[in-house]
Chains A and B, each alone.
Chain A
Amino acid sequence: TQLLEQSPQFLSIQEGENLTVYCNSSSVFSSLQWYRQEPGEGPVLLVTVVTGGEVKKLKRLTFQFGDARKDSSLHITAAQPGDTGLYLCAGAPENQLIWGAGTKLIIKP
């Protein structure tokens, strides 16, 4: 069974701080997606990474796919209250997505 483990499960920090959350697996994925889910809503795609070592930036968010395509990280610079949400990673070994349990992020003003 392929698993995606996300860490930490929960993170609460002050506005303006930096943070990194992780998505790890022992399996290789052909691609990996990051979604953000706000309370009462469905997840929304932030980014897809495909190439080992790839780095993608989305304003203050930086996503990295590990060289071996088994792990990924999301770094947020100068976090803002609007970044609050559940961050989910999803990997595609073949034709279906496998989902991590998510990191619940709270940014306090």
Chain B
Amino acid sequence: DVKVTQSSRYLVKRTGEKVFLECVQDMDHENMFWYRQDPGLGLRLIYFSYDVKMKEKGDIPEGYSVSREKKERFSLILESASTNQTSMYLCASSFLGAGGLYEQYFGPGTRLTVT
């Protein structure tokens, strides 16, 4: 079974804190993605990575950074958390290739609340 795991299911942080969200996949997938999901807005891509140490900005990268030091692990960093970053964060992975032809496998999500 493909597994994508995320470090926390729920997280509460204070404004200004540095926040790390970790994602690990066990399928040897080249691609890894970080999305945020807000009601009525669907999934919005923050960053993705197609190889170790490679990263590409998605649609909403402002306020976020990422790190991929190993193929199986992709980290999302909120340098200074703000209340408008309160959201559900979803990590996904897939094989490299034509974007729409490969299934994305998702983790269970991290619900982050910034107070």
Question: What number of residue pairs across chains A and B have CB atoms under 8 A from each other?
Answer: 62
Interface contact B42-A101, CB-CB below 8 Å: yes
Q: Digit string of A89-103 for contact with B (CB within 8 Å is 1, else 0)? A: 011101111011110
Binding-face segment, B67-75, B78-86, B102-110? B102-110
**Size class of the contact patch on chain B:** 20 to 34
Given contacts A9-B40, A99-B43, A101-B40, contact A41 B109 (CB under 8 A): yes
Interface contact A33-B106, CB-CB below 8 Å: no
Complexed CA–CA distance, A44 and B103 (Å): 9
B-side residues, CB < 8 A to A, are 4, 9, 40-45, 48, 58, 90, 92, 98-101, 103-104, 106-109
Q: Which of chain B's residues has its CB closest to A42's CB?
A: B106
Which A residues are in CB contact (< 8 Å) with B9?
40
Interface contact B106-A43, CB-CB below 8 Å: yes
Interface contact B103-A45, CB-CB below 8 Å: yes
Interface contact B4-A42, CB-CB below 8 Å: yes
Complexed CA–CA distance, A97 and B93 (Å): 12
Given contacts A42-B4, A97-B104, contact A102 B98 (CB under 8 A): no
Which B residues are in CB contact (< 8 Å) with A9?
40
Partner of A102, one of B42, B101, B107, B108: B42
Which A residues are in CB contact (< 8 Å) with B108?
40-42
Which B residues are in CB contact (< 8 Å) with A45?
103-104
Which B residues are in CB contact (< 8 Å) with A44?
106
Given contacts A42-B90, A100-B42, A101-B41, contact A92 B106 (CB under 8 A): no
Is A78 an interface position by the 8 A CB rule?
A: no
Complexed CA–CA distance, A73 and B9 (Å): 32
Interface contact B109-A30, CB-CB below 8 Å: no
